[in-house]
Structure 1
Amino acid sequence: MTHYEKQIHHRISRFVPENSVGLAFGLWKKKPFRFVIAKARNSKLGDFRKKPSEDWAVITVNENLNPYSFLITFVHEVAHHWVYEKHNGRVSPHGKEWKDAFKALMLPFQTPDIFPEGILRALNLYMINPKAASLSDIRLAKALKAYDPINPDEVSLLELAHGQKFMLENRLFEKQETRRTRVRCKEVKSGKYYLVHKMAMIIPE
């Protein structure tokens, strides 16, 4: 292993389930990319980007995810990378090509050696027709959230009543109408509206 490969292997091993490290690193080694551990973002769990002027694509995954969420997000973004290399950005980001790639790449990980039974059951159902955001599948989102670090002051936004105020990222919001996977929320100080995922963990006022 080169020094850089050792760095990537170590970076992956810090965040994914122990029994998945070899498989996850193997995905990187087959089609290398810049792998960045990002600070927590409420708008997304990870992302993929490739600029024509750059040799390597960049994949980021949020550092605050539990190992199972991290792994699913990692493979989700690697699927984008593989599809981009094959089609050079000429297909829909979450269309059939991405779904097929994601399902194929995820399949070796879908074992009880890697995922707890509750997550695996929900994951297997989700992977039949994966959506752009894994947390849009409420069954899978709840199964994954059970393994998040516990903060006794936090609840999911879904649990709040319409009009109730809450804190998120040290800002005060008011919950408005719920959409399919996100909630329209008003920042009290600025009056601006934001869409927040309904499974986001917040602190009620």
Structure 2
Amino acid sequence: MSITNLERFLPEGTLPFLKTWFGEHIIHIKITRKRQSKLGDYRKMPDGSHQITVNGTLQPELFFFVLTHELAHLLAFQEFGYRISPHGQEWKQTFRMMLVGSISVYANDLKPIILKFAKAPKANFMSSPDLVKYFHIEDCEDESLYIEDLADGDLFIYRNERYSLDGKRKKNYLCTNLENTKKYIFRPLARVEKIS
């Protein structure tokens, strides 16, 4: 997929950044359906080209953020070699510079969140509560909320199964599946539907 074909997934003003980052690299961009496990993926192909996948259901600014994350892998490997850790200091440094350098494409209310994240980039998008909450704004019309908003003993539905919230364990939450009575750990920003 060429850079210009990506325009419909991206916010305005991103193409100059992408053209610079893509450089002379041969990059195959694959737009995928929504995946629960990840938003994007990077891998170097046996022929020396690069493949990046990004969920096509993402909001434009999040799509660009994820694409930037994946391109940071390519650029970090190119600059520092393939022996570096995929989400190590070299990747963090590269991703930070890319985020700060392209901050102008993000909405004004998102810029401070991106800049805060860029100070110490994380490998997993879900580890930034501010970003997760920002990109779920449009979902607020439904009945879902974050598990951290519930109280001990509250009942909720997650992926069509009913649970009770037993309590907080360090950073996460211990819950009981009401169908099979097994205990499960939930992250604070899991989206759930409270049962009244």
Normalising by structure 1, we get a TM-score of 0.75
Q: What's the CA shift for 1:77?
A: 1.0
Superposition deviation, residue 101 in structure 1: 1.0
Structure 1 residues 162-184: Cα deviation after superposition (integer angstroms, max 9, x where no partner):
4544334444455464554x555
Which structure's relative contact order is higher, taking Cα pairs within 8 Å and 6+ residues apart? Answer: 1
Structure 1 residue aligned with 2:50: 57
Tell me the residue number matched to 2:191.
201
Q: Secondary structure at the match of 1:17?
A: coil
1:152 to 130, 137, 142: 142
User: Is residue 103 from structure 1 mapped to residue 103 from structure 2 by the alignment?
Assistant: no
Looking at structure 2, the residues matched to 57 and 192 of structure 1 have their Cα atoms a distance apart, in angstroms, of 42
Alignment pair present for 1:36 and 2:15? no
Deviation per residue, 1:87-121 (Å, 9 max, x gap): 4531112111101111222233202xx22222101
Structure 2 residues not aligned, in runs of 5+: none
Listed as ranges, the gaps of 5+ residues in structure 1 are none
Output the amino acid matched with 1:132.
A
Equivalent residues of 1:119, 1:144 under 8 A apart: no
CA separation of 1:108 and 1:153: change in aligned 2, threshold 3 A: same
Which residue, out of 7, 14, 17, partners 2:8? Answer: 14
Give how far 1:79 is off: 0.4
**How do 1:121-160 residues align onto structure 2 when only pairs under 5 Å count?**
121-146=112-137, 148-160=138-150
Give the count of matched residue pairs: 194
Opposite residue 101 of structure 2, the aligned amino acid is: P
Cα distance, 1:76 vs structure 2:
0.7
The percentage of aligned residue pairs carrying the same residue is 25
Q: 1:69 aligns with which of 55, 62, 68?
A: 62
Greater C-alpha Rg: 2
How far apart are the structure 1 equivalents of 2:110 and 2:191? 19
CA RMSD in angstroms, aligned pairs only: 3.0
Q: CA, structure 1 residues 46+195, in 2 after alignment: closer, same or farther (shift >3 Å)?
A: farther
Instruction: Give me the TM-score of the superposition, normalised by structure 2.
Output: 0.78
Contact 1:9 1:25 in 2 (8 A): no
